[in-house]
Chain A
Amino acid sequence: MSEHAGTAPGSMPSRASLFIPLVVFLIILALLWRGFSLGDPHALPSALLNQPLPEFALPVLHEPGRVVGSEAMHGEPFLLNIWATWCPTCRAEHAELARIAEEYGVPIFGINYKDNPAEARRWLARYGDPYVFSVVDADGSLGIDLGVYGAPETFLVDAEGVIRYKRIGAVDRRVWDTKLGPLLAELRDAS
């Protein structure tokens, strides 16, 4: 009897191999944990990070005869905000943009994205205009050049016109305090 017990290695699993299912389970658990804690699946990394702003030539919202390009914005670090009157979230972030422009003196430029210019001008008259100026991107072609897929989006651009950060969705107090604000301070220190 005794010479037959445990005579066939592999026929009876060794003690260590009993733990294999547990280990597999833990690996799957870790993967799922990571997958579910990724947060917003819409948050794509911007392909344009550390790339110069794309070239454009678009009319200014309040002076339709004046066509500007990105050079009109260069000189110091600035924010570039994509907004529209049809976008409720833009309305929600509007007060925060005004606060940022006033308290930090950072120039904010607007891209009025796929909107009606007359309505856009009325909107700014009613809710205040935090922008140095807004350009009119009527058909969204600058939006595509910027990899925009909705409004609002906000770019932080350095003095040379290189994109340093992209915020998808509203800029609120928390985003400003944790991300945009510190990055702006960094850019200002560097220049």
Chain B
Amino acid sequence: MRPDGVLLRSLILGLLLIAGHGQASSIDVYEFDTREQEARFHALNAELRCPKCLNTNLWGSDAPIARDLRRTVATMLREGHSDREIRNYLVSRYGDFILYNPRFTAKTAVLWIGPFVLLFLGLAIIGVMIRNQRRAARAGDQLMTPADAERVARLRAELRQDTSGAASRS
């Protein structure tokens, strides 16, 4: 192993230990042929969910099954399988549950499309409300008959006279 590899490893190990209980579990050592494989290993462990513990990824879990799955992922990587093949294999065994980033299928469509449907619904409701308000305002304008308008103008003029008179008196 190259010296910078050792440095990187101990750095990662140290960080994992500092990161606390959940992370401290993943200190088993895995050897890889290339840096690229190691990076993919880390990425996969972060995005795969531990089947036993509901809300932890493979890195964060100390469950025996999580350790076995990390080992399986490492083995498959070393055998030269692609990320997609590894994901497919685990999904064929454990179902969509194992993916933190669920794939777009008929079953998961509601997860992906649902928020956009809700957003569209919200915008539509706001739109309808604005339109109703505008219509109401316009209807309000038309409600004043010419006679009403004349009366309003007269009253406004009187009011102006009153206030200016009061101001000059004081």
**A-to-B contact residues, CB < 8 Å:** 3-4, 7-11, 41-42, 44-48, 114, 139-141, 143-150
Contacts and interface: CB of A to CB of B under 8 A. Distances in A.
Contacts of A8: 136-137, 139-140
B140 A140 contact: no
A147 B63 CA distance: 15
A3 B143 contact: yes
B133 A114 contact: no
A141 B95 CA distance: 17
Contacts of A146: 93
Nearest to A7: B143
Contact of B139 (A7, A47, A140, A148): A7
A109 B137 CA distance: 79
Contacts of B52: 42, 149-150
Contacts of B95: 44-47, 147
Nearest to B63: A149
B97 interface: yes
Contact of A44 (B72, B94, B132): B94
24 contacts: A3-B143, A8-B137, A8-B139, A9-B132, A9-B135, A10-B132, A10-B133, A41-B54, A42-B52, A44-B51, A44-B97, A48-B92, A114-B64, A139-B68, A140-B68, A143-B65, A144-B68, A146-B93, A147-B51, A147-B93, A147-B94, A149-B65, A149-B94, A150-B52
A57 B108 CA distance: 36
A47 B140 contact: no
Interface of B: 51-52, 54, 63-65, 68-69, 72, 91-95, 97, 129, 132-133, 135-137, 139-140, 143
A174 to B, nearest CB: 24
A47 B98 CA distance: 11
Contacts of A7: 139-140, 143
Contacts of A9: 132, 135-136, 139
A10 B136 contact: yes
Contacts of A143: 65, 68
B51 to A, nearest CB: 4
Contacts of A46: 95
A4 B143 CA distance: 8
